[in-house]
Amino acid sequence: MSMFRRFARATTVVAATFVSACNASDSTGPSAPLPVLGLAVTATGSSTARVTFSGRSGESYDIERAEGAAGTFATITTIAALTADATTNYDDRGLTVTTLYRYRVTAIKNGARTPSAETSTTTLAFGSAVARISTDITVSRTLFADTAYTLSGFIHVANGATLTIQAGTTIKGDFETVGSTLMVLRGAKIQAVGTVKAPIVFTSSRAAGSRQPGDWGGLILVGNAPDNRSGTVNVEGTGTSAGTTSGTNYLVQYNGGTVATDNSGTLAYVRVEFGGYAPLQDQEFNSFTFAAIGSGTRASYLESLAGLDDSFEFFGGGFDLDHLVAFETADDMLDMSEGFSGRIQYVIAINTVQLTPRTGAGFYSVDLQGFENDGCNGTGCDLGHGSQPYTIPLVANFTIIGCGQASCMGAGGGYGMMLRRGTGGYYVNGVIARWSTGAVSLRDPFTYTRAGSTATPSETADLQMRNVLFAETNNLAFQAASATQNVLDLTGNNLTLSTATAASLFTAIPAVGSLATSIAAFDFTPTTGSPIASGGLATFTGSIAAKAGTFVTGTSYLGAAAPGGTKWWTGWTNYTRN
């Protein structure tokens, strides 16, 4: 073989080897990144966890999460390629309380992916940590569900600050600091949005089983909407402390506002338990106090439990509320006055017994009513009971059940509705039951004027009552007519004085004097064939339609629960009396 031929053969072999090597490299692709180092996951709250790992320059990362021991991994976020080696943190939010979560991190580089081994954590229980709030909140702040907070003193959320409260958070009123209360002042906001499974609870600092009405103050919101009183009018019960020292009970004015659309925030799935303190004679804190609250505010799914004064009291203003529950109220279940013009749909209020309040906190009311609505009364009512704006709420689908005994309603109480001092309002599709004195009292001619001074108010009158059933109300629909008392015509307003028992109307309600606490004992759904399963005003007309707008809708049934409908009062409420 010639030298040339041997050289050519060698060249061919080398070339073939080179081509083979290139083909081998192309089939393998870029080398995969190594798994991340130092992966750790720590639960930081009842709904949060922190993922930490050591990241490398040039790599991006998918953080993946799976719920429970057998859940499927899914990417929850992607970390962009790092420009340098660095410890990387990611805070995962919106998790479920006391739930196991597994995590892994997939490193990505040049299209290649390498997942890490998995690690896990379990979110914390509600109230795992504790904290005390004893000074006013002057800058925006968030309260977290993993911490149980104690309000010690009279805590004010100041103008310009927003208090955000995470779903599932518990806030306790300090029993040792008498009257401890949360006040959201004019210009401040509260964003307290719970859920069915994780309501926000304001309650007594005492242990369950020893709690009483009046253990602490309550929740007070003060807005900038109009009312009908002039001069300076302060929130009832404020002013027992001189000056404006943080955390003390200084005077808080609420009247004189001019912004009907004022926004004080949002309340949803919120309970207030064992509140209602009376620092002065006839000057009480309620479970919920809404003073001059504007229409920018929203409130849904609220419960007052075992309050020493009113469950829900409204002074002026006007905003929308829905799905309210009041249980074991020591004074009025709903109290509206001074030009309140809000709209409310779906209300359940029931008393069964008279509870013993905390010593020194005040006393049970001597005139407990279901509704107690007033126009204007007291100083600053320049036109007396005719002061404007008039109190004209719209309340639809209400179930108002008294304790059924005069002994637990007071000498001046026992009416399902006390309408007086020039109030108006539209009351539609309701049930009033177990009121020992009577169903309704139209207390004075000023109030009758709102109805047009007639027993069958027109569709444009400022006071109308339509499609309401009365049961177990001492065989009395209205307090007897007299020089000062007035009545409405039953037939002309589709009002029914029923001979049925209250218990027969509903699937289940506690008997008079019962200490039932099981949710099964509180089923306000109409029974089959119940007179409240039908008879509702399904189509509104006149002033009621104009007032209702798109917020309040007509129904074919009476009361707060639809036949066969969702039991909206379950899952987030509490019926424990101590």
The answer on pLDDT for 11 being more than 60 is no
Q: What are the pLDDT digits (tens) for 543-571?
A: 999 999 999 999 999 999 999 999 999 99
278: pLDDT confidence band, cut at 50, 70 and 90?
confident
Which residue, 123, 297, 306, is CA-closest to 202?
Answer: 306
Average pLDDT over residues 303-309: 97
> In this predicted structure, which of 198-212, 276-290, 428-442, 457-471 has the lowest mean pLDDT?
276-290
Q: How far is CA 45 from the centre of its chain?
A: 22
- Which helix (H) or strand (E) element contains residue 297? none
64 CB neighbour count, 10 Å cutoff? 20
pLDDT at 29: 59
The answer on pLDDT for 2 being more than 80 is no
The answer on pLDDT for 251 being more than 50 is yes
Average pLDDT over residues 33-40: 96
254: pLDDT confidence band, cut at 50, 70 and 90?
very high
Higher per-residue confidence, 387 vs 484: 387
Q: Rounded to an integer, what distance in angstroms lies between the CA atom of residue 405 and that of residue 534?
A: 28
Q: Are strands 298-305 and 219-222 parallel, antiparallel or unpaired?
A: unpaired
Q: What are the pLDDT digits (tens) for 69-105?
A: 999 999 999 999 999 999 999 999 989 999 999 999 9
pLDDT at 483: 85
The answer on pLDDT for 119 being more than 80 is yes
Q: Rounded to an integer, what distance in angstroms lies between the CA atom of residue 352 and that of residue 305?
A: 12
The answer on pLDDT for 484 being more than 90 is no
| HEC secondary structure over 71-139 | CCCEEEEEECCCCCCEEEEEEECCCCCCCEEEEEEEEEECCEEEECCCEEEECCCCCCEEEEECCCECC
pLDDT at 9: 41
pLDDT at 286: 97
Residue found by looking up tokens 């402390």 in the block: 241
Phi, psi for residue 6 in degrees, rounded to 5: -65, -40
Average pLDDT over residues 265-279: 96
What lies within 8 Å, CB to CB, of 238 at 6+ separation is 154, 183, 249, 250, 251, 252
pLDDT at 1: 46
Q: Rounded to an integer, what distance in angstroms lies between the CA atom of residue 39 and that of residue 102?
A: 12
Task: Give 144: exposed, middle or buried? Use CB within 10 Å, 0-12, 13-18, 19+.
Answer: buried
Average pLDDT, the chain: 93
Regarding pTM above 0.75, the answer is yes
pLDDT at 30: 65
| HEC secondary structure over 239-278 | CCCCCCCCCCCCCCECCCCCCCCCCCEEEEEEEEECCCCC
* Contact indicator for 265, 297 with CB cutoff of 8 Å: yes
pLDDT at 113: 96
The CB-side HSE value for 499 (13 A sphere, CA atoms) comes to 0
